[in-house]
Structure 1
Amino acid sequence: MIEVKNVVKHYKKKKVLQDISFQAKQGECVAIVGRNGCGKSTLLQIMAGVLKADSGEIRYYGQKAQGKAFRKFCGYVPQENPLMEELTVLDNLKLWGAVKSGETEAIIKQFHLADILKMPVAKLSGGMKRRLAIACACFNWPPVLLLDEPTTALDLYYKENIHEFLAQYRKLNGIILMTTHDEEEIQNADRCLIMTEGRMKELSKDQINMQEIYQYIKAN
Structure 2
Amino acid sequence: MYIQAINLQKSYNKRKIVKGIHLEIGQGEILAVIGPNGAGKSTTLEILIGLRKADAGEINYWLDAYKEKIGVQLQAAPFFVGLNAFENLKLFAAFYKKKLTDCQVNDMLKICGLYDVRKVDASKLSGGQQKRLAISIALIHNPDLIFLDEPTAALDPRARQEIHHLIKQLHKQNKTVVFTSHDMDEVDKLATRVMMIDEGEIIAQGNPSALCREHHVSNLEQLYLKLAIGGERNVSSNF
TM-score, normalised with respect to structure 2: 0.84
SS at match of 1:59: strand
Deviation track 1:101-137 (CA, whole Å, cap 9, x = no partner) reads: 5542321110122221221122111000000000010
| Percent identity between the two aligned chains | 35
Q: Distance in 1 between matches of 2:168 and 2:85?
A: 25
Q: Distance in 2 between matches of 1:85 and 1:151?
A: 23
1:200 aligned onto 2:202 = yes
**Amino acid paired to 2:77:** N
Q: Quote the residue 2:167 is aligned against.
A: 166
Deviation track 1:55-101 (CA, whole Å, cap 9, x = no partner) reads: 2222332x36xxx532x121001122322243221221122106215
**Amino acid paired to 1:91:** E
Q: CA deviation at 1:193?
A: 1.1
Matches within 5 A, 1:92-103: 92-97=88-93, 99-100=100-101, 102-103=103-104
Q: Quote the residue 1:215 is aligned against.
A: 226
Q: Answer whether contact 2:29 2:175 (CA < 8 A) is retained.
A: yes
Deviation track 1:16-54 (CA, whole Å, cap 9, x = no partner) reads: 111111112211011111111111111221122111111
Q: Quote the residue 1:80 is aligned against.
A: 76
Q: Quote the residue 1:5 is aligned against.
A: 6
Q: 204-213 vs 165-174, which deviates more? A: 204-213
Q: C-alpha root-mean-square deviation of aligned residues, in Å? A: 1.7
Q: Quote the residue 1:16 is aligned against.
A: 17
Q: Quote the residue 1:157 is aligned against.
A: 158
Q: Quote the residue 2:66 is aligned against.
A: 69
Considering only CA atoms, is the larger Rg found in Structure 1 or Structure 2?
2
Q: CA deviation at 1:142?
A: 0.5
Q: Answer whether contact 1:31 1:185 (CA < 8 A) is retained.
A: no
**Amino acid paired to 2:211:** Q
Q: Distance in 2 between matches of 1:45 and 1:8?
A: 12
Structure 2, gaps ≥5 residues long: 95-99, 213-218, 234-239
Deviation track 1:159-213 (CA, whole Å, cap 9, x = no partner) reads: 1111111111111111111111112232131111111111112322121432022
Q: Quote the residue 1:134 is aligned against.
A: 135
Figure out how many residues of one structure are paired with residues of the other and give that number: 215
**Amino acid paired to 1:120:** D
Structure 1, gaps ≥5 residues long: none
Q: Answer whether contact 2:203 2:227 (CA < 8 A) is retained.
A: no
1:90 to 74, 86, 91: 86
Q: Quote the residue 2:193 is aligned against.
A: 191
